[in-house]
Amino acid sequence: MTESYDVIIIGTGAGGGTLARHLAPSGKKVLLLERGGWLPREPENWSTEAVFVDNRYVSADTWYDGNGKPFQPGVHYFVGGATKLYGAALYRLRKEDFGELRHHDGISPAWPISYDELEPYYTLAEDRYQVHGARGEDPTEPPASAPYPHPAVSHEPRIQQLSDDLEAAGHHPFHAPCGIMLDESNPPYSTCVRCSQCDGFPCLVHAKSDAEVLGVRPALEHPNVTLLTNARVTRLETNDAGTAVTEAVVERDGTEERYGADVVVVACGAANTAKLLLQSASNTHAKGLANGSDQVGRNYMYHDSTAVLALSREENETAYQKTLGLNDFYFGADDFEFPLGNVQMVGKSQAAMFRGERPRETRLAPDWTLERMAKHAIDFWLSTEDLPRPENRIMLDGDRNIRLTYTETNAEAKRRLYAKVKSLLGKLDMNPDHLIHRFAYMKNDIPIAGCAHQAGTCRFGSDPATSVLDVNCKAHELDNLYVVDTSVFPSIGAVNPALTAMANSLRVGDHLLERLK
């Protein structure tokens, strides 16, 4: 007989883990199905070689590009999902991102909810994920109903100097919102030890605000919540009319198991959520579950990001580098009327990351060894908004493998953002000639394998012809199927996506608590 629950949540990352914690105190019977296991706590968590060279925590999946060429996607299957490895830069989208925005390559569409509707949930998400930040420094910052729950993480000396130099050059650097449990007022009791192995690494001491530590673990303190690990959902079955999901079919330890629930929530990440719905095609849902509109899998986005490093004249001894952001080009520049994007810091370069991949640009400076380069590096992460295009999509091939067809959008804006940062270097006490693409950490120019910021594929909206989900993120075509991960995004903005997924998950969670009363 099928075991039955009030709610099944599939996937335990930013979307699923956050929802689990929100529903847990209700006493409702909640089942979490997670295809991965617990990420082992081991010395390799903080080993640059293990994480960046050996890809120890990257899934063994093979996906295929639009031409059928195989690649290994940068995805992470663990309790906590991608947040186990993320940089925990927990940004809100800008208020304007919720409306229609004109870009160089076209329109970034409006969301079906306004910023003001999501605002209370951003505040709650910042609280749950212990975000450290400072309001009032970033001119593009959207209005907030509460201060950050924790003070901003201080800049280390070289980043403070960068901040001062940017201000002197007329810019508005700000303290970036960081999800690390650092208590600078009481170091002996701080969970976070402020190390250099954060962005892209798991946190050995569980001080990163990830969805395992602050989502799943608190949820499991409630006896009504059950977690099954290594439980990959392969299919969702419906009733004969196709109006409700009746069972999740699970592959666990080589055997098939089935679980039922009144409500089923999918949160597998944008690519895998689309995959699950597509492979759940049936007589009543011939093109895939909830896919009468043919929108499932479409509008895949992942940010036009570039990881670059500049060479500081002095050595950069910063350990935790992600404390600074710059949004002065978010909506455009004096010489460009369209949005360019966000500039932030990325985890500090280490020579071991470059092993075997000597950046071409260093040929310009042959006296710079990789070690010396890493010591002087100041590392930036430039993100331009990627526009949703129906032809950028997840499909399944004959063997049910993911096929990701993607053509870049907004390349001109991305090029200009890079040029803007490069033009600033001389004023920032950095070598003016070199803004070097990083050939580590998600690779240069983030080819499609670097799908860390994947979003879209099941967007929510009010029109069933152009969206998969309604305003509550319930499938238009089914009574009890919801999605709460980044796949719901109608547009992605140019800031990191996790906090928005968490906030939206809390919003949908409130709707579910009402529904389940």
- What DSSP line would sit under 175-240, residue for residue? EPPB-B---TT-GGG-S----S--TTS--TTS-B--TIIIIIHHHHTSTTEEEESSEEEEEEEE-T
75 or 192: CB nearest ligand SF4: 192
Residue 190 sits in the site that holds ligand SF4 (CB under 6 A): no
Q: Least distance (Å) from ligand FAD to the CB of residue 18?
A: 8
Question: What's the rounded Cα separation, in Å, for the pair 472 and 14?
Answer: 17
494: phi then psi, degrees, rounded to nearest 5: -120, 10
48 or 410: CB nearest ligand SF4: 48
* Residue pair 301/109 in contact by the 8 Å Cβ criterion: no
* Residue pair 35/230 in contact by the 8 Å Cβ criterion: yes
Q: Least distance (Å) from ligand SF4 to the CB of residue 184?
A: 12
Taking residues 192 to 211 in sequence order and writing x for each that binds ligand FAD by CB under 6 A, - otherwise, the string is: --------x-----------
* Residue pair 494/341 in contact by the 8 Å Cβ criterion: yes
The residue ranges of DSSP E strands in 239-303, in sequence order, are 245-252, 255-266, 298-301
Find the binder of ligand SF4 among 79, 131, 159, 203 (CB under 6 A).
203
**Residues ≥6 apart with Cβ < 8 Å to 334:** none
Which helix (H) or strand (E) segment holds residue 503: the answer is: helix 498-515
Taking residues 400 to 439 in sequence order and writing x for each that binds ligand FAD by CB under 6 A, - otherwise, the string is: ----------------------------------------
Q: Least distance (Å) from ligand SF4 to the CB of residue 137?
A: 22
Alpha-carbon 120 to chain mean position: 20
Q: How far is CA 307 from CA 23, 154, 380, 450, in A?
A: 37, 23, 6, 11
Residue 341 sits in the site that holds ligand FAD (CB under 6 A): no
Q: Which residues of 336-353 are buried (b: 16+ CB within 10 A; e: fewer)?
A: bebbbbbbbbbbbbbebb
Cα-based angle 329, 330, 334 (whole degrees, multiple of 5):
35
Give the sign of the dihedral formed by CA 87, CA 485, CA 37, CA 19.
positive
Question: What end-to-end distance do the CA atoms of the chain give, in Å?
Answer: 26
Residue 198 sits in the site that holds ligand SF4 (CB under 6 A): yes
Residue 193 sits in the site that holds ligand SF4 (CB under 6 A): yes
Q: Least distance (Å) from ligand SF4 to the CB of residue 439?
A: 23
Question: Residue 29 binds which one of ligand SF4, ligand FAD, none, with CB within 5 to 8 A depending on kind?
Answer: none
Task: State whether residue 460 is helix, strand or coil.
Answer: strand
Residue 347 sits in the site that holds ligand FAD (CB under 6 A): no
Taking residues 204 to 243 in sequence order and writing x for each that binds ligand SF4 by CB under 6 A, - otherwise, the string is: -x-xx-----------------------------------
Q: Which stretch binds ligand SF4 (CB under 6 A): 128-136, 196-204, 461-469, 491-499?
A: 196-204
Q: Least distance (Å) from ligand SF4 to the CB of residue 452?
A: 17
Taking residues 288 to 327 in sequence order and writing x for each that binds ligand SF4 by CB under 6 A, - otherwise, the string is: --------------------------------x-------
What is the DSSP secondary structure assignment for residue 400, as one 8-state letter?
Answer: S
Find the binder of ligand FAD among 73, 87, 112, 509 (CB under 6 A).
87
Residue 34 sits in the site that holds ligand FAD (CB under 6 A): yes
Residue 227 sits in the site that holds ligand FAD (CB under 6 A): no
Binding footprint of ligand FAD on the chain (CB under 6 A): 10-16, 33-36, 74, 76-78, 81-83, 85-90, 200, 232-233, 267-269, 272, 276, 452-453, 485-486, 496-499, 501
Binding footprint of ligand SF4 on the chain (CB under 6 A): 180, 192-195, 197-198, 201, 203, 205, 207-208, 320
